[in-house]
């Protein structure tokens, strides 16, 4: 496995208190990104990069730095552009959690397939948004979408239901 992101720091100063589920999802996304990620800055220095992730009302901002500490790139995943995919993902995740407690396996599997499809659609939107800033693959975009959802969950209706 290779990772173009070697370290991720969360700027907690602009982030509301996370629920345990949000913290767990962010932690898993961070672990996965540092274990395996493919990300490059067109015309910029090569990785691996240290990434700082912060939140504001406009969305989630990412700053990539080289091993020497120089800024390699900065980009934003805007909340407005990801609001619907993030809401759909939060809703299906909430349905899935509820289903696990009471529905038969076939229904749970159907919800899980729908969850994966919505997650992939969100990741494809991330790829579109990143097109000019950085290049990446779908697996890395999926992890970035998960991180976006976990960090911006306070602004996603239904995301804080569990």
CA 146 to chain centre: 3
CA-closest candidate to residue 50, choices 77, 10, 18: 10
Query: 4-55, pLDDT tens digit by residue?
Result: 999 999 887 655 566 777 778 888 889 999 999 999 999 888 889 999 999 8
Is 5 in contact with 31 (CB distance < 8 Å)?
A: no
What does the DSSP 8-state code read for residue 13? G
* pTM reported for the whole predicted model: 0.86
Average pLDDT over residues 97-114: 86
Q: Which helix (H) or strand (E) holds 14?
A: none
State yes or no: pLDDT of 73 exceeds 70: yes
State yes or no: pLDDT of 161 exceeds 50: no
Query: How many helices (DSSP H) and strands (DSSP E) are in the chain?
Result: 4, 6
């Amino acid at each position: 496995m290779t990772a173009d992101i070697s370290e991720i720091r969360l700027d907690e100063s602009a982030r509301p208190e996370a629920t345990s589920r949000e913290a767990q999802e962010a932690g898993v996304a961070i672990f996965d990104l540092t274990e395996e990620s493919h990300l490059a800055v067109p015309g910029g220095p090569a990785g691996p990069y240290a990434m700082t992730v912060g939140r504001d009302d406009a969305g989630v901002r990412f700053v990539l730095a080289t091993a020497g500490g120089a800024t390699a790139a900065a980009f934003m995943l805007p909340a407005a552009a990801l609001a619907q995919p993030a809401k759909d993902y939060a809703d299906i995740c909430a349905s899935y959690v509820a289903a696990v407690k009471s529905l038969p396996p076939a229904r749970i599997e159907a919800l899980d397939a729908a969850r994966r499809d919505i997650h992939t659609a969100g990741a494809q939107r991330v790829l579109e948004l990143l097109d000019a800033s950085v290049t990446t693959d779908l697996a890395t975009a999926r992890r970035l979408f998960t991180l976006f959802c976990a960090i911006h969950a306070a602004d996603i209706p239904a995301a804080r239901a569990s």
